[in-house]
Amino acid sequence: MSRLTYACQDGAYISPMHRRGRRFHPLLIPALLPAALAACAHSAPPPRPAPHPTATVVLAETNGHYAALQLTAIAIMTADTAPSVQPSEEAQAAARQLAERIAPLRGDFEATTVAMTTGELETTESLWMRLAVSHAALEILYDDARALASDPLATTAELRDLAVQLEGVLELARVSSGLAAGRLGAHGSRPAPPSGGVALRS
């Protein structure tokens, strides 16, 4: 038993047809090829890959990431509960949440670097270096947060110290990314970042 699947000229496909006890003559195959090729020619083209985001767009997005996590760190720093040196399950839980919030930001520096052209990297070299330093510190604080989260002797005083360091690192990253986006926009190499971004502190 042989099967044949063929296509109509409008691109619609016909389900396989069964032919019991019959074989198509070999000379029919070349005759069917033009119709099949014509049907394929009318099929939809493959989707185009999404364009890569511009450097200013990526910088604006990462700036928002830094600002959001910075607010979390500030909330821990300004909590009504006085820091204690006594072991606290709440300190462990808060440190675990900090580690979970830091984790998505670990790739922001790489995303920013990939989005930049050689000219943009040269234009923002000093700010790019500040971002590199801040992300190196962020990696250390990520490990510290995970260690504190798994430590049954973790205290709220240690948690507050971690939040203070994290807030400072995020301030450096936030300001650096904002200034880099502004510098690229001023040079006109990339479109300006979308409105509604996080305002920078002076």
Of residues 200 and 166, more confidently modeled: 166
Alpha-carbon span 70 to 102, nearest angstrom: 10
Tens-place pLDDT, residues 67-112: 999 999 999 999 877 677 787 899 999 999 999 999 999 999 999 9
The residue ranges of every structural domain in the chain are 2-41, 55-187
Residue linked to tokens 């808060």: 94
Q: Which helix (H) or strand (E) holds 4?
A: strand 2-4
- Averaged confidence pLDDT in the chain: 77
Question: What does the block give as tokens for 105?
Answer: 């930001």
Tell me which CATH code domain 55-187 carries. Answer: 1.20.120
CA dihedral sign of residues 62, 64, 68, 74: positive
Which residues, including other chains, have CB under 8 Å from residue 7's CB and lie 6 or more apart? 13, 14, 35, 36, 39, 40
In a 3-state reduction of DSSP, which class is residue 150?
A: coil
pTM, entire model: 0.66
Does pLDDT of 35 surpass 60?
no
Tell me, what's the pLDDT at 47?
58
Which amino acid does the sequence have at 144?
D
Alpha-carbon span 199 to 202, nearest angstrom: 9
Alpha-carbon span 48 to 58, nearest angstrom: 21
Residue linked to tokens 């989005």: 115
For the chain, percent of residues with pLDDT exceeding 70? 66
